[in-house]
Amino acid sequence: MNNSLVIDTPEGISAYRLLALKGALKLETRGLQMSRGFKVSVAVRDILKDAGKKTPASKVKLLEAYEAHLREIKVLA
């Protein structure tokens, strides 16, 4: 049985990217980094600024604001 999921629409790919950033930000709140030299918190702040939202200074609060944004755009249930 093959239980793989294929995401091949632009909307699906975008949603996957946003969820991957959420997971990476969660790692940053715990003191880990997803990759060297790339700060996910900066990318998430840019996404929230583009959406016209305020960006908290704390990474934990930033994660909460980002999750709320993802719920608002119906990417996160």
Q: Which residues contact 27 (CB under 8 A, 6 or more apart)?
A: 33, 34, 40
Please determine, for residue 74, whether its predicted confidence score (pLDDT) is greater than 90. Answer: yes
Full-model pTM? 0.89
Query: What's the pLDDT at 34?
Result: 82
Per-residue pLDDT reduced to its tens digit, 25-58:
999 999 998 888 888 999 999 999 999 999 999 9
1 within a domain of the structure (yes/no): no
Cα distances (angstroms) measured from residue 20 to each of 2, 30, 34: 23, 16, 10
5 within a domain of the structure (yes/no): no
User: Which domain covers residue 15, as residue numbers?
Assistant: 10-72
29 within a domain of the structure (yes/no): yes
Give the number of domains in the chain: 1
19 within a domain of the structure (yes/no): yes
Please, are residues 44 and 70 in contact by the beta-carbon 8 Å criterion? no
77 within a domain of the structure (yes/no): no
